[in-house]
């Protein structure tokens, strides 16, 4: 096991960077309102990325991070966004002046991109092997057999098991981490000089995330690839960055080395971002309430996979799960992808049917309540999902979405509208937001609307299923503060599902750790996170990115540079 510190892979001393962005400006073709002119999305930005260097772009949603990456790849949506000034030089060639045919040649051979969600980046009706083979076929003169061997070798280099089976698999047959490895293999198979990674680890649990970061560092070390890494996760930044570019509203606010930006930030905006990163040190414990509102006992959820050939396969998504939740308590459920966290949450809310066990809501077992009789139960338990945009009907004003549950439970419309206005104020939005549509809000504001909708029926339990994982750090901090304020005001109990141990440390009173459908450890948050009993829990904590940094105080807790171990 070799250890590669982030300082070991240094940028080239050559004066010619792999990527140079000079005075780049991008404008939207139309304004956001009637009578408005073009809106400036990027305003004269510039920075370099050298061979073997990782440059991280950080900033809030809307800062211009992704527009920068799409500009480099020549993927700005036509008719919506256009570069109006500046140059983007990839090994000296200006991609803004390249014709479409030349751009297609540059992609994959000189520059490539890894997107955030591999499931949407891959064709669901083609095997992953065929999709990687297509890249080689279009950009090389290799025959079919030679291409297959090249693809299999690349799959092996990204540490996928049983590569011949993987080659013939469809995207839905692979885990999230495996799909992301496929996308990385596709991006790197022709050894481009520049790799752009746009939030490639945001939706992954800490152990899978660490594996992907290790893989990217290993491949960079082998090939000297320049990496432009876009993320809002400062833990990841602290692990992989050589230099950091801070962006805000289309401008570059600050550029510097990792240590300069994270430990000695100069701009007020940068200090605000970094101080918003939750700490891994658990907050002070609260006294647990005596009124238990939820008891889960012996909960099982099994799926039967019917096979065309061979016997059916039974998958245990949750096995013998036991937990209890008191009034005003925030209980966190953590674990890797596939550990059963969301399965438990959906069983508790009765969005899926448990196979066995009891779910006692204020003493009443709701596990066997027929679906047609669930409406009275729904008043007492509500859920907030990860993606607020998909949770809201884009054709309905948000006020109508908030009052839907109230109207279904017999409340008069005018009373429901008044209640909705109160809820919007409670979550920090103006009452007149009721008349706007979901697309007119930011991601953080949409999540606030989803929380308001969930609170409309005054539930005893609020289930938050990865409710802040897709938000940037400043908005995440606001939503976490909001949940804490709501808990204090209303006494609602919160079942908080997350793969982010930093978030769990700051908001949860109790933590339950799950692995392969079973609870392996549970207890007060401070005990589980600072003195874990189980090796699996220790592995999760060790895998948390940036664990050696104290972001709140702009310093490192361990003075040595963080290291990534490469097999």
> Model confidence over 434-482: pLDDT tens digits?
999 998 887 778 888 999 999 998 999 999 988 887 777 888 888 888 8
- Say whether 553 sits in a helix, a strand or coil: helix
Per-residue pLDDT, 513: 96
pLDDT number for residue 5: 38
Answer whether 109's CB lies under 8 Å from 195's CB.
no
pLDDT at 12: 45
Instruction: Provide the token pair at 340.
Output: 């059963």
CA atoms within 13 A on the CB side of 152: 11
Q: Give me the pLDDT at residue 388, please.
A: 80
Question: d(Cα 311, Cα 217) in Å, to the nearest integer?
Answer: 42
Token code pair at residue 367: 């596990």
Q: Which stretches of 394-475 are assigned E, i.e. beta strand?
A: 461-465
| 562 vs 7: CA distance, rounded Å | 9
The pTM score is 0.80
Longest Cα–Cα distance of the chain, Å, equals 71
Return d(Cα 443, Cα 64) in angstroms, integer.
Answer: 15
Residue ranges of the chain whose pLDDT lies below 70:
1-15, 30-37, 203, 556-567
Q: Quick one: which of 371, 338, 378, 336 has its CA closest to 353?
A: 371
| Residue 31, pLDDT score | 52
Q: Give kind and range of the element (H or E) at residue 54.
A: strand 54-58
The reported pLDDT for the residue numbered 15 is 66
| Alpha-carbon Rg for the chain in angstroms | 25
């Amino acid at each position: 096991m070799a250890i590669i510190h982030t300082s070991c892979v240094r940028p080239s001393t050559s004066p010619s960077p792999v990527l140079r962005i000079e005075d780049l400006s991008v404008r939207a073709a139309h304004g956001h309102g009637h009578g408005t002119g073009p809106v400036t999305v990027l305003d004269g930005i510039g920075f370099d990325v050298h061979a073997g260097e990782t440059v991280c772009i950080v900033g809030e949603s809307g800062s211009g991070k992704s527009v920068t990456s799409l500009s480099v790849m020549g993927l700005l949506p036509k008719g919506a966004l256009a570069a109006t000034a500046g140059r983007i030089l990839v090994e000296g060639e200006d991609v803004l002046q390249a014709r479409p045919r030349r751009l297609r040649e540059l992609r994959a051979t000189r520059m490539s991109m890894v997107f955030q969600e591999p499931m949407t980046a891959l064709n669901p009706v083609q095997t992953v092997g065929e999709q990687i083979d297509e890249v080689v076929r279009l950009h090389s003169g290799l025959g079919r057999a030679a291409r297959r061997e090249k693809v299999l070798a690349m799959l092996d280099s990204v540490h996928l098991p049983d590569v011949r089976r993987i080659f013939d698999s469809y995207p839905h047959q692979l885990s999230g981490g495996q799909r992301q490895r496929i996308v990385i293999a596709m991006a790197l198979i022709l050894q481009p000089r520049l790799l752009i990674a746009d939030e490639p680890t945001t939706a992954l649990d800490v152990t899978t995330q660490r594996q992907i970061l290790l893989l990217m560092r290993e491949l960079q070390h082998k090939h000297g690839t320049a990496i432009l890494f876009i993320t809002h996760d400062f833990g990841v930044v602290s692990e992989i960055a050589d230099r950091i570019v801070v962006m805000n509203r289309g401008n570059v606010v600050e550029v510097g080395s990792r240590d300069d930006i994270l430990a000695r930030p100069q701009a007020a905006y940068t200090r605000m971002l970094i101080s918003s990163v939750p700490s891994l040190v658990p907050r002070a414990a609260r006294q647990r309430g005596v009124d238990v509102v939820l008891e889960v006992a012996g909960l099982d959820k099994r799926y039967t996979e019917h096979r065309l050939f061979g016997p059916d396969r039974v998958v245990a998504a949750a096995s013998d799960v036991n937990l209890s939740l008191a009034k005003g308590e925030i209980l966190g459920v953590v674990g890797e992808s596939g550990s059963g966290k969301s399965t438990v949450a959906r069983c508790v809310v009765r969005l899926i049917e448990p196979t066995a066990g009891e779910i006692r809501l204020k003493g009443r077992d709701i596990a066997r309540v027929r679906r047609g009789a669930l409406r009275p139960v729904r008043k007492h338990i509500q859920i907030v999902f990860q993606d607020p945009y998909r949770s809201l009907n884009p054709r309905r004003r948000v006020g109508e979405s908030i009052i839907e549950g109230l109207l279904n439970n017999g409340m008069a419309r005018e009373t429901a509208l008044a209640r909705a206005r109160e809820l919007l104020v409670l979550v920090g939005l103006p009452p007149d937001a009721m008349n706007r549509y979901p697309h007119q809000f930011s991601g953080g504001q949409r999540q606030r609307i989803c929380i308001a909708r969930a609170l409309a029926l005054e539930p005893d339990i609020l289930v938050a299923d990865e409710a802040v994982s897709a938000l940037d750090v400043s908005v995440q901090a606001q939503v976490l503060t909001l949940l804490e304020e709501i808990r204090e005001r209303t006494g609602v109990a919160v079942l908080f599902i997350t793969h982010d141990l930093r978030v769990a440390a700051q908001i949860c009173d109790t933590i339950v750790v799950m692995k392969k459908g079973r609870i392996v450890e549970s207890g007060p948050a401070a005990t589980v996170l600072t003195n874990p009993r189980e090796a699996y829990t220790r592995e999760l904590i060790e895998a948390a990115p940036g664990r050696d940094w104290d972001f709140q105080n702009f310093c490192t807790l361990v003075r040595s540079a963080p290291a990534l171990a490469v097999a």
